A and B are shown apart, each in its own frame.
Chain A
Amino acid sequence: MNPGGDSAPRCAGEVCLTCSDSAVPVTVVSLLGDGLAVVDTGSGREEVSIALVPAAVGDRVLVHAGEAIAVMPP
């Protein structure tokens, strides 16, 4: 979704962030505490909240607007 990695945020055009319904599933890489985690998006790493799902390192989660809302099956 953000091929530029750390470059400034921009609308990717292909997918609407607000809904981001074609969200690429991401993998939890490490837990940061306070419900936050580093995830691998396939094109880089991002910090997201996993406070609402029972996610562990290695789990694949579905993230909407920086918040994981579901754990996906392996």
Chain B
Amino acid sequence: MRFVDEFRSAGTAHALAARIAELCEPGRQYKFMEVCGGHTHTIYKHGLEDYLPESVTLVHGPGCPVCVIPMGRVDDAIHLAAHPGTIMTSFGDMMRVPGSQGSFFDAKARGTDIRMVYSPLDALKIARQNPDKRVVFMAIGFETTAPSTAMTVLRASAEGLANFSVFCNHVTIVPAIKAILDSPDLRLDGFIGPGHVSTVIGCRPYEFIAGSYGKPVVVAGFEPLDILQSIYMLMLQVRAGRAEVENQYTRVVPYDGNRAALHAINEVMELRPYFEWRGLGFISHSAMAVRPAYRRFDAERLFEIPGVRVADPKACQCGEVLKGVLKPWECKVFGTACTPETPIGTCMVSPEGACAAYYNFGRMNRHRVSEVSVS
């Protein structure tokens, strides 16, 4: 990819859209889920739904790591950060995620030392500069950010850094996809597979989706034409009655992933028996914890953590949105009580959350109007 224009050409987009339309059988609806929040963001930023025939619908998946963090976990982190002599470090996106007692920003305003960092390497620097403090990194994300956390723990271990630890909330995408496939209230024709998660895990972990569930998967890049081409590839599979894992994003994704990164994750982390996902509930083997061999860097072992469980706010329908059952604008509080400035649910927090993407790019108006005219 030398010039971004090559991947955003409107002419090529219209040509691809026309080919997608040609593949649609009259009277049939096609529903594809884009698993990754990055794809959701591209789809709304570039208005890709406007290019697609009406019979092709995109459903937004659970692939925004910020959006799936349950409230109790935020409360736990704030509790942990409030220990005397502690500095909590976090990505900026996490700062606004509401817990039951407010967000990291609210805790920071109350005097808790919580600092934003761009990478866990920055958290390591803070630990070196503050040897008298205990520095905790709020580790979240799918397999894209897990290598970074793992390497940071390995670096801290090699340095013998005694005041650094991670509060591990890393989740894995495949069990979440499986939970969605097993969900009775959703019928999908295929998946737009996550791009950058796949640079790490490769394409093989999705083979069960094609093999056991008979649904096609196309791993896609993040430019508008990447996504349109992936939808075209999915349509070709559906029309031919095929279900395979295909890789549209070959310029970045090797079929076997990044072995060094997988090795680093596996060295430092192990699967948890279960983990709570916002809206999806408890999913077996869907998240990672620090291995006992690295217990010195595991905040869950070093700090007393209450293990708070908080039910999602009643008004919030993030769960249905994350499962793709509801469109964001169908949520009762969308755009009224819940906005990016004062989010109730996590889907409104991160720019890659489905609700924030709808809200920021004005998608709700079109749908709301069409919805009103139908009813």
**A21: which B residues are within 8 A, CB to CB?**
36-39, 41, 144, 195-196, 222, 352
If A53-B258, A62-B199 touch, whether A22 touches B252 (CB-CB below 8 Å) is no
Q: Is A64 touching B145 in the complex (CB atoms < 8 A)?
A: yes
Binary contact track B237-264/A, C-beta < 8 Å → 1, others 0: 0000000000000011110001011001
Closest Cβ of chain A to B350, distance in Å, is: 5
A65 touches which of B39, B63, B95, B141 (Cβ 8 Å): B141
> Any chain B CB within 8 A of the CB of A57?
no
A interface residues, tally (CB under 8 Å): 34
Binary contact track B343-374/A, C-beta < 8 Å → 1, others 0: 00000001110000000000000000000000
Q: Which of B233-290 contact A (CB under 8 A)?
A: 251-254, 258, 260-261, 264
Interface of A is mostly: loop
A16 to B352: give the CA distance in the assembly, Å.
Answer: 6
Q: Which of B55-70 contact A (CB under 8 A)?
A: 63-66
A64 to B147: give the CA distance in the assembly, Å.
Answer: 9
What is the chain B residue whose CB lies nearest that of A22?
B222
**A16: which B residues are within 8 A, CB to CB?**
37-38, 41, 64, 66, 93, 350-352
Closest Cβ of chain A to B277, distance in Å, is: 15
B252 touches which of A11, A14, A52, A70 (Cβ 8 Å): A70
> Any chain B CB within 8 A of the CB of A20?
yes
> Any chain A CB within 8 A of the CB of B94?
yes
A21 to B65: give the CA distance in the assembly, Å.
Answer: 12
Q: Is A52 touching B92 in the complex (CB atoms < 8 A)?
A: no
A10 to B356: give the CA distance in the assembly, Å.
Answer: 18
Q: Which of the four size classes fits the interface of chain B? A: 35 or more
Binds A, one of B9-17, B71-79, B113-121: B113-121
A18 touches which of B65, B222, B260 (Cβ 8 Å): B65
Binary contact track A27-70/B, C-beta < 8 Å → 1, others 0: 00000000100000000000111011100000000101111011
Q: Which of B147-205 contact A (CB under 8 A)?
A: 147-149, 151, 155, 195-196, 199-200
Closest Cβ of chain A to B153, distance in Å, is: 12
> Any chain A CB within 8 A of the CB of B329?
no
A62 to B148: give the CA distance in the assembly, Å.
Answer: 12
Binary contact track B326-342/A, C-beta < 8 Å → 1, others 0: 00000000000000000
Closest Cβ of chain A to B2, distance in Å, is: 8
A64 to B312: give the CA distance in the assembly, Å.
Answer: 30
If A52-B261, A69-B261 touch, whether A17 touches B118 (CB-CB below 8 Å) is yes
Q: Is B144 touching A19 in the complex (CB atoms < 8 A)?
A: yes
> Any chain B CB within 8 A of the CB of A3?
no
**A65: which B residues are within 8 A, CB to CB?**
91, 118-120, 141, 144-145, 148-149
Closest Cβ of chain A to B128, distance in Å, is: 14
Closest Cβ of chain A to B37, distance in Å, is: 6
A22 to B42: give the CA distance in the assembly, Å.
Answer: 8
Q: Is A10 touching B92 in the complex (CB atoms < 8 A)?
A: yes
If A21-B41, A22-B38, A52-B260 touch, whether A66 touches B148 (CB-CB below 8 Å) is yes
Q: Is A2 touching B118 in the complex (CB atoms < 8 A)?
A: yes
B91 touches which of A8, A17, A48 (Cβ 8 Å): A17
Closest Cβ of chain A to B158, distance in Å, is: 9
What is the chain B residue whose CB lies nearest that of A15?
B351
Most buried by A among B66, B148, B195: B148
A11 to B93: give the CA distance in the assembly, Å.
Answer: 6
Q: Which 9 A-B pairs have the closest CB atoms?
A: A66-B119, A21-B38, A11-B92, A67-B148, A65-B148, A16-B352, A70-B199, A52-B260, A65-B145
Given contacts A10-B116, A21-B36, 12 further A-B contacts (CB under 8 A): A2-B118, A16-B41, A16-B93, A19-B63, A21-B41, A22-B41, A25-B1, A51-B151, A53-B260, A65-B120, A67-B261, A72-B1
Name B residues whose Cβ lies closer than 8 Å to a Cβ of A. Answer: 1, 36-39, 41-42, 63-66, 91-96, 116-122, 140-142, 144-145, 147-149, 151, 155, 195-196, 199-200, 222, 251-254, 258, 260-261, 264, 350-352
